[in-house]
Amino acid sequence: MLKTYTYPRYAYHRPPELDRAGVRRVPLVVVGAGPVGLAAALDGAQRGLPVLLLDEDNTVSIGSRGVCYAKRALEIFDRLGHGAEVALGQRIVDKGVTWNVGRTFHGEQEVFSFDLLPEAGHRRPGMVNLQQYWLEQYLVEQAERQPGVELRWQNRVTHVVPSAAGVELRVETPDGPYTLQCDWLVVADGARSPIRRQLGLDIEGKVFQDRFLIADIVLERELFPADRTERRFWFEPTFFNGQSALLHREADNVWRIDFQLGWDVDPEEEKKPERVIPRVRAALDGQGFKDIGFELEWASVYAFQCRRMKNFRHGRVLFVGDAAHQVSPFGARGANSGVQDTDNLMWKLALVHRGLAPDTLLDTYDSERTEAADENILNSTRATDFMTPKTRASQVFRQAVLGLAKETPCGRALVNSGRLSVPTIHRDSPLSTPDAQAEGAAAFKGWMVPGAPADDAPLAGGPGSAGGWLLDQLGDGFVLMLFRSEPTAAERATLARLAAAPVPVRALLLPATGPAAERYDAREGTCYLMRPDQIVAARWRSLDEDAVLRALDRALGRQIAPAAASATRETA
């Protein structure tokens, strides 16, 4: 028996609402204890917003499901591990499988390869593979130790009634139903989202008429040396009569194999062991691994879609993750995008709830994350159309590209087996202050433009200097990065006033030389205003207090006219 994971069963506790008169009101309810819901709850609690997290189940997800976590998501997880001995991002890296090399084949011939290894001087790798059940377990453990998070298992939300003043929920438990009210409701209940359906909200897009089989297998020994972990993708594999197949490694020597089955198959039949095991055996044999035994851990057949809600905000109800948008699994854009949703939302929600920012700030969650969803859907649709051509013209194009890829770099650049997840740069966000070129000041170079997520960099320690990693030093509030070896008296006075503001802006002093300065194109006096989600809000070549305060107002949504945010402010 090669089984490597025992699914935990979390204890149900009788809700106190069943034994008290009246209806309790809480600041925030999150529905759904998957990776996205757990991330939302942890982020909200760390920002001082008490969270009641409800889930209808009592265990982590069954099967590997979402398995690839990109650098940006790992950096977000690092910020959600307050009080833990080991940062969440580090736990994922330590347990998971870091990979950088991807190889693509047409039949038996390799036609394309890529390397995700980032430039030197990044704390987190480009991609880590880890079964979703491990990730959820780590997040649950963090939620159990996080003050401000109350996690209730086997509490199923059956009815939602939104209003301008709040949201009322009907919740079913093993001991009976209760009613609850909240100021804000974050919906993370998955792609089929019962809450979205109950509210009659549409999700629009394209459903692809193709089915894929996922098989998770536990091997009795390694396939490749530890330093040669790689992702392999095949168009028209010789070991399987289908259009594509995918092989990559997970933790505990579990490997995932995906087989493209076509549309006209019976999903229930195809995931039976007697159908799955021969296919897996043929795939291993076809790669020269005839002597390696395996055990089937989990199998599933899925059809996928690229769709999203028109708006992610409906008054006091906010949708995140798969409840708001869905993409194909090729490119690892699902869970990674959902975690970025919560990273974008929770700092805004905490400030609005505390009265430190206007309600219009929440409308920028909708505008920024629908932009990200559109970008993910576009890339996912292009990959899916290439991998599963449905017209004669698409099939001819793909065959021509695969043939050309064997001969030329330009052909290889057109091969699309899933462009991997990268964060969206919100260049046109209403929260971003465009660069203003002062007379005589050098123009900025590089990609750290307003709206871009912060690039990490190692920091040299020393007296009066920050050490470790830049993103750790940024933390999760507003920060003014000042690249200056020794601030002037006027600059110190400005920084002190900014730190004492109602929405404080903490100063981070950095040297104007070294990796961080290079990545931010900094020189003496350069400064960056960073949002609480570590996105660039504004940048200047010199510190100007009035300019910083104007940019802060903009980043807090104070310059957004209420009339400009009409659609997302409707009550569902």
Q: Which domains are assigned to the chain?
A: 26-207+306-380 (3.50.50.60), 212-303 (3.30.70), 458-555 (3.40.30.120)
Name the phi and psi angles at 182, rounded to 5. -145, 155
If 0-12 CB within 10 Å is exposed, 13-18 middle and 19+ buried, where does residue 568 land?
Answer: buried
Give pLDDT, residue 183: 98
DSSP, residue by residue, 57-79 = SSS--SS--S-EEEHHHHHHHHH
Can you read off the two tokens belonging to residue 296?
Answer: 């089937």
Q: Is the pLDDT of residue 567 over 50?
A: no
Q: Is the pLDDT of residue 570 over 60?
A: no
Q: What 3-state class would DSSP assign to 127?
A: strand
Distance CA 555, CA 416 (A): 37
- The amino acid present at 516, given as its one-letter code, is A
Q: Is the pLDDT of residue 167 over 80?
A: yes
218 to each of 102, 255, 259, 552, how far by Cα in Å?
A: 21, 6, 17, 52
Of 12-26, 117-131, 204-218, 390-404, the least confident: 390-404
- Strand partners for 70: 127
Can you read off the two tokens belonging to residue 533?
Answer: 């989600």
Give pLDDT, residue 301: 93
- Could you report the per-residue pLDDT of 72-118, keeping only the tens digit for each? 999 999 999 777 788 899 999 999 998 877 888 888 888 887 776 65
Asked if 71 contacts 92 with a C-beta cutoff of 8 angstroms, the reply is no
Of 112-121, 393-402, 462-471, the least confident: 462-471
